[in-house]
Amino acid sequence: MKCVDLDMNKVVRSGLAWPHARMPSGKDMIGRLERNEAYVSWLQPSGGCLEDMFPAIRVRENYYTLSLRMMKAVWRHVRLKKGFVNAESVPHVGTLLRIPRVLLLEKLRTQERFNVSGTEHALLPII
């Protein structure tokens, strides 16, 4: 987790502050993040666009970036279905990403391993 410089980034949507004394990156604390988007704040670089948004977590007065392991825990419930759009309209905020771009690419990469087309399956020998 790296500390985010708020002079170069702006908070688009603020999440709840991390209430525990230990940092959320510890293996024993990951379970408290699981499927809990309430702690996630969305930040955007100054002059950036929707695709540049990234998630962060507020610990005391500072914002910290989330590791991929933490992102996987928070957005474990999101499944990439046919027609998945990684943007959602939020009242009083505007348009936000549903999941971070890094996690979306990781989920797509993982999903690609399980996609099997009919032609490849026909070429497999029968034993």
Chain segment 49-72, per-residue pLDDT in tens: 999 999 999 999 999 999 999 999
- Evaluate if residue 83 carries a pLDDT over 90: no
Other residues' Cβ atoms within 10 Å of the Cβ of residue 2: 9
- pLDDT score, position 124: 47
Residue 122 lies in a domain: no
122 contacts 94 by C-beta, under 8 angstroms: no
- pLDDT score, position 69: 95
Label the pairing between strands 54-59 and 40-45. Answer: antiparallel
Host domain of residue 20: 9-115
Residue 98 lies in a domain: yes
- Mean of pLDDT values over 2-13: 95
- Evaluate if residue 111 carries a pLDDT over 50: yes
Residue 64 lies in a domain: yes
Residue 2 lies in a domain: no
- Evaluate if residue 103 carries a pLDDT over 50: yes
Please give the Cα distance from 44 to 54 (Å, whole number).
Answer: 6
Residue 47 lies in a domain: yes
CA distances from 26 to 21, 23, 29, 69, 80 (A): 11, 6, 5, 10, 27
Query: In the block, which residue shows the tokens 């007065």?
Result: 61
DSSP run (H or E) holding 64: strand 62-65
- The set of residues, in sequence order, having a beta carbon less than 8 Å from that of 36 and lying 6+ positions away, is 74
- Mean of pLDDT values over 1-22: 94
Q: pLDDT exceeding 70 applies to what percent of the chain?
A: 91
- Evaluate if residue 96 carries a pLDDT over 70: yes
Number of domains in the chain: 1
